[in-house]
A and B are shown apart, each in its own frame.
Chain A
């Protein structure tokens, strides 16, 4: 048996280990601060050169040195809100089916499908949307609508396939699993005692869901929606491949079938070719705007989910 080492030796080891853990954690904090500062300093040429007009301008013409970000900002917000609006009823439907009606045996495969849908890379949604869905949507959805009610500006033609509305549709598919899985988790937390009260009164499953589970889960569902919105706002590849990358929407052509450009698609398709300092700066300022929007959305998500958890604990 070797001589036992002194306890001071272990206390020193403990101190070293703790400082390693703290350093790693501080590195994460530091990198986050650095990310923010880098984006701000990278945006400076644009902030100084474009001024406030960057946020309100509707023209983007690097040749002439004009950088207006408003269409990209509006597109990002519009596609994301539209996507979430499409996704909410679907996600709720899945959650209600899963928690109330699905047979126990089917639940495992169902969560597997939901997880897989969330795991499909965005670039794959992009290639599929571009080569499979866009032509179908163009022929079977956009053209008939344009032909019938195209006189209404937001349904106006021509039909390109790739468009704001296609981007929203694909985005909706991408955020459905995110909203659905969190909603399932939240609805499953409904206290059994509350549900039993309703059931003992002779309520059907749907009545129990409507009067107990959904009201109980409403804050949590709001949190799930915020999480999905955050994801939709930052989504890049699928959008870039199917949105058309044109600054038409909403000012030149307000139709939901018009090609558009989101913040992310603008950055993805132009950053590489940007040469002048102000051009690069403008794109970085776009990403700074996106970062602020998504951080606010995520902060709201965390705030709401914290409230939900506290509420659940009180039950």
Chain B
């Protein structure tokens, strides 16, 4: 009797935990479904190649926002990835257990917990108030900063798991430490560094808060990286709240593009890092 009820409890928990898991996944499928259902009808050639129509007119597209997101992300990566990789290399290969490296480690970890909107405020006070106008550079600075801890952590962790055999082999050949670190250890760990950088790129591609008062928004093609610039993220925010059905539809269309970008990167990374697949040591 007792045994049966214990087994039933176990079976109940199994089904309950399965049900909870399904409930947690529903929002994901629902969001992706909604974004496809609503967004697909917004997408056409004009949507992908034109700038937004002025208020009151229909039609237009989000091409300038697509370009803006790519430009701002690229500039952010050019800033954030090198700093992240260099910091990660330092933490993995050079840092001792001393105070100095624990300060660096604490800063990197603290950065990863800072709310994204605060990076926006930081970039605003540091750059926008200095140059006296909104600029895409400030947005890239904020997003680049957000990439640093992600890339640094990925670099440090993937370099740490490189076997010491590799370091010893390099030392025994008389290879200088810098070349050993860059060409051998980083070389063996490059898969982890690349996936970390891709995930950081995906992460900032969806970030909106740091852009609100840095790159702002624009209805036109970008005129320069030191000017306000449209992005898909801010376009979604502005248009979704605008209340005009045309605009809301375009916000769904832009959401679809953003979701495809973010999901694609995550799926690629996920499959590339499947446990079965192991690169090197």
Contact = CB atoms under 8 A, between A and B. Distances in A.
A3 interface: no
A82 interface: no
B236 to A, nearest CB: 5
B25 A113 contact: yes
A232 B34 CA distance: 24
Contact of A291 (B10, B114, B126, B177): B114
Contact of B208 (A18, A94, A115, A121): A121
Contacts of A38: 121-122, 125-126
B: interface residue count bin? 35 or more
6 nearest A-B residue pairs (beta carbon) = A121-B206, A234-B115, A93-B20, A298-B113, A17-B178, A97-B17
B20 A287 contact: no
Given A89-B20, A204-B10, A234-B118, A125 B31 contact: yes
Nearest to B3: A202
9 contacts: A24-B86, A108-B274, A124-B259, A131-B240, A204-B10, A271-B124, A272-B212, A301-B113, A302-B109
A20 interface: yes
Interface stretch (B51-59, B60-68, B88-96): B88-96
Interface of A: 10-11, 13-14, 16-18, 20-22, 24-29, 31-32, 34-35, 38-39, 41-42, 89-91, 93-94, 96-98, 100-102, 108, 110-113, 115-117, 119-128, 130-132, 173, 176-177, 180, 204-207, 209, 230, 233-237, 240-241, 264, 267-268, 271-272, 283-284, 287, 290-291, 294-295, 297-299, 301-302
Given A38-B126, A101-B18, A234-B117, A123 B90 contact: no
Contact of B87 (A28, A110, A240): A28
Contacts of B126: 34, 38
Given A29-B107, A39-B122, A127-B252, A121 B205 contact: yes
A174 B196 CA distance: 21
Contacts of A111: 270
B121 A25 contact: no
B240 A268 contact: no
B266 A14 contact: no
B9 A119 contact: no
